[in-house]
């Protein structure tokens, strides 16, 4: 099991980690420049594109920050069929996007759909299949891997056990155990945190970074908290874009081979936020292919979230002076 006990605060680039997490102005630009240098030195400078289909907004969990929480009776629920998913996957393939990203709330009914979709996607187009579906038994992860799924994202969200239980109502140890099972099953694994959760501190964020470093994921992510309608946290303040970008840059330096996304939540909070993510060391952008009638019901950030289009992605990649990797994984 991953360690959850605080350790002495480490230093990177000659400064304590908290100083970098809180960096602003010239110090922040120094951090970003170092992250870009590392990205270039390790040949991670081309942007990977993912095509996401949000296949279900049903969820067993009741997390305080998410409007897809099980107790939200006002949300119109949906679940895409295998045929619908395969139709969209073909479109993603034709656009030259090499990764099919299937995301959902924690919805066990998706299992039968995945049994049909994953092998068929592999047979027809050979796409890299990335899943983000929540916490399941070890045997379930192994089964999905056997069907052909390649990678999996399971963010731990906060490394503070008490705070995690207050927010998600389940133990952090269970979440971390799932990450270990995924790694053991042979998945490429992504994880990370949410910046600005109520009750979070600077020291918590330091421990978040250390936990990511301990896990050694293939993908590392940091995203800002966004208050969501229909949740207990609807009136809370948004997370800091500045701190989120700083953590992304730190993760690039600590995990030079990792894929690091610049998430849509950055653009939701600040125009130009995703471009700033690329300039902070990110190298992944996810394009949304969820059908519009369902997209508005996938309220992961808020009812009026920023939806990333292929055109938007191409624009900010060019603005960052980067190029798209021909086959993204």
- Looking at residue 328, its pLDDT comes to 44
Q: Are strands 284-288 and 15-16 parallel, antiparallel or unpaired?
A: unpaired
Series of mean pLDDT values for 10-residue runs along the chain (329 residues): 55 94 98 98 97 98 96 96 98 97 98 98 98 98 98 98 98 98 98 97 97 98 94 95 98 98 96 98 98 92 83 98 80
- Looking at residue 245, its pLDDT comes to 98
- Contact present, 252 and 260 (Cβ < 8 Å): yes
Domain 26-319 belongs in CATH node 3.90.600.10: no
- Looking at residue 94, its pLDDT comes to 97
- CA nearest 60: which of 108, 28, 101? 108
- Looking at residue 9, its pLDDT comes to 65
pTM: 0.95
* Domain ranges, ordered by start, for the chain: 26-319
């Amino acid at each position: 099991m991953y360690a959850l006990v605080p350790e002495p605060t480490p230093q990177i680039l000659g400064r304590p980690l908290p100083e970098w997490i809180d960096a602003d102005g010239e110090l922040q630009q120094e951090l970003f420049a170092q992250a870009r240098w590392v990205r270039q030195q390790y040949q991670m400078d081309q942007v990977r594109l993912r095509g996401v289909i949000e296949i279900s907004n049903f969820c067993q969990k009741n997390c305080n920050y998410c409007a897809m929480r099980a107790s939200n009776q006002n949300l119109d629920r949906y679940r895409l069929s295998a045929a619908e998913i395969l139709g969209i996957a073909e479109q993603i393939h034709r656009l030259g996007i090499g990764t099919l990203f299937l995301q959902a709330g924690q919805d066990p009914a998706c299992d039968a759909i995945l049994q049909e979709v994953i092998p068929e996607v592999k047979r027809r187009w050979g796409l890299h299949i990335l899943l983000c579906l929540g916490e399941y038994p070890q045997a379930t992860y192994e089964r999905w891997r056997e069907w052909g799924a390649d990678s999996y994202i399971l963010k731990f969200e906060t490394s503070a056990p008490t705070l995690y239980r207050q927010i998600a109502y389940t133990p952090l140890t269970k979440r971390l155990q799932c990450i270990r099972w995924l790694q053991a099953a042979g998945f490429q694994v992504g994880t990370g945190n949410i910046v600005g959760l109520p009750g979070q501190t600077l020291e918590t964020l330091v421990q978040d970074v250390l936990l990511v470093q301990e896990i050694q994921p293939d993908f590392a992510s940091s995203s800002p908290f966004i208050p969501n309608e229909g949740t207990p946290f609807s009136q809370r303040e948004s997370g800091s874009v500045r701190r989120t970008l700083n953590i992304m840059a730190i993760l690039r330096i600590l995990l030079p081979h990792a894929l690091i996304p610049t998430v849509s939540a950055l653009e939701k909070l600040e125009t130009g936020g995703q471009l700033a993510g690329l300039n902070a060391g990110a190298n992944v952008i996810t394009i949304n292919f969820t059908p519009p009638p369902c997209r508005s019901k996938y309220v992961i950030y808020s009812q009026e979230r920023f939806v990333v289009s292929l055109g938007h992605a191409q624009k900010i990649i060019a603005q960052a002076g980067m190029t798209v990797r021909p086959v993204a994984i």
